Structure 1
Amino acid sequence: MSLLAVDRRAMNTHVHWSGVRERVIAVEEAERRSRGRGPSRYPTFEAVLTPAEIAEVEAQFGVALPDDYRTFLAEVGAGGPGPAFELTSLRRIDGKWGWVWANDEDHPWLLDPSGPFVETENWADQQIATLRAAGYEPTTRDEEDDYLGDYRKVFGDAGDDAWFLQRGRGAIPISDNGCGMTGWLIVVGPHRGELRDRDCAVNPPYEPYVDANGNRHTFRSWYLEWLEQRERAAR
């Protein structure tokens, strides 16, 4: 059975985003007015994706996106305002779909669905397994539980990319938080649908986003919490 078929069986009931697009646009406009600015010349959100386009994305990567995110793409937009700074944009570039930071279409993120997202506590072991599979016994482990130096020895000029891509396996960058900070949505693995926060150091822990009660956020709860906070601030 394919990963796509397995993920589809795990999807929740349909999640609606009724009124959310309009609420975000309203709060964006209210903030511009409060700063003495006129209406923006640019759309607040990128266009929504059609069912056929979403199916194309999922077929390209062989997975089903978490239901609350895929319905957001269909009902709100494929990019736009979001927690911290903005959401990354899901775009078709040269015939393939990828997630784009800050309009940098030369370096889109392509989801690696080959395995589950590796939680922080298991990351050192995952690096060791990769290096041993390449016939190399790991030697250089720093205080961040990072074997990047060994990856460079094994994979040469491709070492940094191999390390970084493996660290993000099974997840997509969902938000650009500024100054190298990023938010990630897990697509493959036991924590599918949860979000992780990555700091800008070389190998920081990926910490779960949690609400005021300590519950782990899904994309929907994370986005709505941010919107409600902005609406309260605007009032």
Structure 2
Amino acid sequence: MHEAELRVGEVHGGVLQPGSSGVRERVIAVEEAERRARGRGPSRYPTFEPVLTPAEIAEVEAQFGVALPDEYRTFLAEVGAGGPGAGIRAHVVGRIDGKWGLVWENDEDHPWLLDPSGPFVETEDWADQQIATLCAAGYEPTTRDEDDDYLGGYRKVFGDAGDDDWFLEHGRGAIPISDNGCGMTGWLIIVGPHRGRLRDRDCAVNPPFEPYVDANGNRHTFRSWYLEWLEQHERAA
């Protein structure tokens, strides 16, 4: 990736406007203010990963065969390919062994590779979708799974690969967008009718994907979610 000095978005009526200035600098300023408040000196490391060039974003989209949501594309191009955000840190988009993927907790050996083969399956639709998947593979559950996760069915049908297949099916059409600590994660939907929306997932056994909402109960997009975090962060600092 190439470091570039691109203009970033600022808030106009709650909207991140591409091509204006503010958000990147505001995040860096509030991070530095927090370090000073804690008696720490300037960090030796950059606050954000380098932004992606238009050519690199085109490579990401070509590799996965999708168009990224506009707000997320703007973030990658003008703010950074990873850095501070809601939760502990936004996941990093990077090229590893010639492929683009999202890195979980700096674990470059296991990047998340978007599966664009179908739409993201909402939690309320999960059980019916998995029954259909198992039936298509020749296994028909005779009773509804008590936990509605159907992991046992995947293990019967797909053997040792069942756990991985089940996990990947859960995240099909979406990418991890934030590490929220203690196994909790945030996801951005890339494929399907809710493209550009976010989902929060707890660390319980088979937790549901829950929409991120604002104080008024409105569902967040990537832009409104990130700006809400930044404004709260600034007030706290």
The question of a shared fold, defined as TM-score above 0.5 by the shorter chain, is answered with yes
Within the alignment, does 1:132 sit opposite 2:135 as a pair? Answer: yes
The CA deviation at 1:102 is 1.1
Corresponding residue to 1:101 among 92, 104, 107: 104
Native 8 Å contact 1:179 1:200 kept in 2: yes
- Partner of 2:64 in structure 1? 61
Within the alignment, does 1:197 sit opposite 2:200 as a pair? Answer: yes
Corresponding residue to 1:70 among 73, 92, 101: 73
Within the alignment, does 1:208 sit opposite 2:202 as a pair? Answer: no
**CA deviation digits over 1:79-124, x for unaligned, max 9?**
0001011100000001000000111011100001011000111000
Q: Structure 1 CA distance, aligned partners of 2:142 and 2:165? A: 18
Q: Structure 2 CA distance, aligned partners of 1:193 and 1:224? A: 15
Within the alignment, does 1:81 sit opposite 2:98 as a pair? Answer: no
- Compare the two structures and name the one with the higher helix fraction: 1
Identical columns (%): 87
- Partner of 1:223 in structure 2? 226
**CA deviation digits over 1:153-212, x for unaligned, max 9?**
111111111001011000000001111100000000000000000111231110000001
- Partner of 2:3 in structure 1? none
Q: Secondary structure at the match of 2:107?
A: coil
Within the alignment, does 1:47 sit opposite 2:50 as a pair? Answer: yes
Native 8 Å contact 1:48 1:74 kept in 2: yes
**CA deviation digits over 1:15-45, x for unaligned, max 9?**
4463111000000000001010111111100
- Partner of 1:155 in structure 2? 158
Q: Structure 2 CA distance, aligned partners of 1:139 and 1:105? A: 41
In terms of mean alpha carbon deviation, does 139-148 or 180-189 score higher?
139-148
Note the residue ranges of structure 2 that are not aligned, 5 or more in a row.
1-16
Q: Secondary structure at the match of 2:86?
A: coil
- Compare the two structures and name the one with the higher strand fraction: 2
Q: Flag the 1:38–1:124 CA change in 2: closer, same or farther, 3 A.
A: same
Q: Flag the 1:17–1:224 CA change in 2: closer, same or farther, 3 A.
A: farther
The letter for the 1-side match of 2:200 is: D
- Partner of 2:5 in structure 1? none
The CA deviation at 1:139 is 4.5
Corresponding residue to 2:182 among 172, 179, 184: 179
Q: Structure 1 CA distance, aligned partners of 2:20 and 2:159? A: 46
Q: Structure 2 CA distance, aligned partners of 1:165 and 1:138? A: 21
Q: TM-score of the superposition, structure 1-length normalised?
A: 0.91
The letter for the 1-side match of 2:34 is: E
Q: Secondary structure at the match of 2:109?
A: coil
Q: Flag the 1:68–1:17 CA change in 2: closer, same or farther, 3 A.
A: farther
Q: Structure 2 CA distance, aligned partners of 1:173 and 1:22? A: 24
- For 1:10-29, what aligned pairs fall within 5 Å after superposition? 15-16=18-19, 18-29=21-32
Q: Secondary structure at the match of 2:175?
A: strand
Number of residue-to-residue matches in the alignment? 222
Q: Could you say what the CA RMSD is over the residues aligned between the two structures, in angstroms?
A: 1.4
